[in-house]
Amino acid sequence: VCGDGTSMHSMELITDAGDTLTYTILDAEADMDGGITEGIVSNVEGGFMAGDKMAVTGLKTADGELVATRVINVTSLLGHWTSIDRNFMIEEGGTVHSEVKAETNPWTSWKILNGQLLLNRDTFDITSLSADSLYLENQKGIYTFKRQK
């Protein structure tokens, strides 16, 4: 969960075990000092605010600083999503409910693993996540969903 110490370039995370971790968020304007973080831009999908549940992958610099490489806002991911052929709800706890009864291979579970979204056995990169849209990509193509209210 994002803690109250979160700011534009720093994300405070409170783990499920109660530990507090602070990740640096690098953008394209970040100082490029030739060190381990040179050329790294933190990919943040879904934004972040205090109280949001997050999935983060990152690296640790030589001086022990944690740098986020991929951030997915799980709170933003939850909800009802639709496309031409899919209509589903991503719910807390790893459950997916399909709203299309005739769907041949409905997704029933989800999780974030190594910065990717797993829906059943299908693995996707989240290329964009916002308040009203979700773009997923895998070797078969790009999938676009809009949030259903």
Give the pLDDT confidence score for residue 41 in this predicted structure. 75
Beta strands in 15-102 (DSSP E): 20-24, 43-45, 54-60, 66-73, 79-82, 87-91, 95-98
Tell which of 24, 46, 73 closes a domain: 73
- Is pLDDT of 36 > 80? no
Give the pLDDT confidence score for residue 39 in this predicted structure. 61
Residue 4: inside a domain = no
Handedness of CA 54, 57, 61, 62 (dihedral sign): positive
Tell the residue number behind the tokens 């720093």, with chain if given.
10
Average pLDDT on 44-58 reads 91
Tally of structural domains, the chain: 2
Residue 1: inside a domain = no
β partners of residue 57: 70
Residue 119: inside a domain = yes
Query: Tokens for 84?
Result: 């031409």
- Is pLDDT of 37 > 60? no
CA angle 110, 130, 24 (to 5 degrees): 85
- Is pLDDT of 110 > 70? yes
Domain limits for position 116:
78-147
